């Protein structure tokens, strides 16, 4: 008989403890979001995959010096360039223009060597965290195309 009442007592006590925790948490600020309808804003120091940065006109700042490609210890970066004619002070000169900036994110360790070695501020870590796929091909990024897409998005949302 004693065991019966002690079970009721401890059962009731545990229920009250549980409810008090629920009640306390109820008034604390919300730290979760309604994923995937809401997304988080990443901190300044967050490292997503690298991305090309655009200038004021949305064009790449990359001068195809190749430093990032050489600095990457994992061989993630593949650059391509084309030579175009430009007019400087009435004279036609050749200029190297970026035609390809591919990133194999499956091999990237986010070490930051590429970003640190770019003297033109042309690349940085993106705030992209929402990446999921079962196909590794989905982690091969055409960063030049991505820059153009982001620019189009910004123009559309302006």
Q: Which residues bind ligand SF4 (CB under 6 A)?
A: 50, 62-68, 71-72, 74, 76-77, 79, 108-114, 117-118, 120, 122-123
C-alpha dist (Å) from residue 11 to 2, 4, 5, 8, 17: 14, 11, 10, 5, 10
Stated as kind and residue range, the H or E segment containing 19 is helix 2-26
Which tokens go with 157? 């949302």
- How remote is the C-alpha of 143 from its chain's centroid? 12
Task: Tally helices (H) and strands (E) across the chain.
Answer: 4, 5
At residue 98, φ and ψ (nearest 5 deg) are -65, 125
For residues 20 and 109, which CB has a smaller minimum distance to ligand SF4 in the complex?
Answer: 109
For residues 71 and 150, which CB has a smaller minimum distance to ligand SF4 in the complex?
Answer: 71
Residue 15 Cβ vs ligand SF4, minimum distance, rounded to whole Å: 52
């Amino acid at each position: 008989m004693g065991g019966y009442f002690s079970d009721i007592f401890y059962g009731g006590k545990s229920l009250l403890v549980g409810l008090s925790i629920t009640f306390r948490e109820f008034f604390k600020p919300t730290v979760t979001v309604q994923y995937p309808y809401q997304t988080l804003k990443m901190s300044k120091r967050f490292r997503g995959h690298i991305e090309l940065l655009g200038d004021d006109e949305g064009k790449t700042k990359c001068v195809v010096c190749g430093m990032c490609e050489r600095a990457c210890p994992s061989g993630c970066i593949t650059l391509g360039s084309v030579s175009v004619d430009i007019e400087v002070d009435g004279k036609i000169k050749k200029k190297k223009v970026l035609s390809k900036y591919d990133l194999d994110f499956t091999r990237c360790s986010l070490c930051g060597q590429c970003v640190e070695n770019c003297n033109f501020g042309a690349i940085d870590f993106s705030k992209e965290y929402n990446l999921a796929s079962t196909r590794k091909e989905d982690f091969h990024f055409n960063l030049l195309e991505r820059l153009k897409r982001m620019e189009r998005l910004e123009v559309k949302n302006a």
